[in-house]
Chains A and B, each alone.
Chain A
Amino acid sequence: EVQLVESGGGLVQPGGSLRLSCAASGFTFSNFEMHWVRQVPGKGLEWVSTIDTIGDPYSPGSVKGRFTISRENAKNSLYLQMNNLRVGDTAVYYCARGMSGSYYYYMDVWGKGTTVTVSS
């Protein structure tokens, strides 16, 4: 069964750091681009980061310089290192798989999400 399981969420103070992990199973992880998407409770979806199969990262300006996406293919794992966290980063963070080939911007498998709360 294709599966993604996020972990590492929790409560952190503003300015603090957190590292999210996503464990993949049921598919050849190294062959797929991977994404992080977040959702503030009651709000819409926001793309956070993408990493391609050769390890090149992409992220929007809102998190660039603070969040770093990485992958460890030998461990079938995706990571999101989040530094200098802000109250506005409070959200559920989802790990998602990009579809194969040129369709990798589309996200066909999602984890259940992990909750990050930034508060003093």
Chain B
Amino acid sequence: DIQMTQSPSSVSASVGDRVTITCRASQDISSWLAWYQQKPGKAPKLLIYAESSLQSGVPSRFSGSGSGTDFTLTISSLQPEDFATYYCQQANSFPITFGQGTRLEIK
């Protein structure tokens, strides 16, 4: 199974800050990676797929990069509604696996 490891596990930031979250795969997954946002009590929401493709309706302040085993999610200028937990997911092969999550908190 492909293990997905996110860092940091939690991060505190302020509105307007630039934030980067990292996801590392235990083996090469090319660009088969997605990022999801989840707010408390809600279902996850797809933000980015295929490493850098922005899902329809997602603000352009979200971007993804990387390939192979190392990937990043960047939020260019944090907005109040961005404080949530973020998960990466590999889409290279079954079993589908997710990172453990990164909680983005208000400083």
Residues of A within 8 A of B (CB): 35, 37, 44-47, 50, 58-61, 94, 99, 103, 105-108, 110-113
State how many angstroms separate the Cβ of B38 from the closest Cβ of chain A. Answer: 8
Q: Is B39 an interface residue (CB 8 A)?
A: no
Question: Given A47-B97, A58-B94 in contact, is the A113-B43 Cβ separation under 8 Å?
Answer: yes
In the docked arrangement, what's the CA distance between A106 and B29, Å?
14
Q: Which residue of A lies closest to B85 (CB)?
A: A44
Q: Which residue of A lies closest to B56 (CB)?
A: A108
State how many angstroms separate the Cβ of B73 from the closest Cβ of chain A. Answer: 15
Chain B interface helix/strand/loop/mixed? loop
Question: Given A50-B94, A107-B46 in contact, is the A44-B55 Cβ separation under 8 Å?
Answer: no
Cβ contact within 8 Å between B100 and A105: no
State how many angstroms separate the Cβ of B56 from the closest Cβ of chain A. Answer: 9
Q: Which residue of A lies closest to B33 (CB)?
A: A106
Cβ contact within 8 Å between A110 and B49: no
In the docked arrangement, what's the CA distance between A116 and B50, Å?
32
Cβ contact within 8 Å between A110 and B87: no
Q: Is B101 an interface residue (CB 8 A)?
A: yes
Q: Is B34 an interface residue (CB 8 A)?
A: yes
- For this complex, 7 residue pairs linking A to B, each with C-beta atoms less than 8 Å apart, are A50-B94, A60-B1, A60-B94, A105-B96, A106-B49, A107-B44, A110-B43
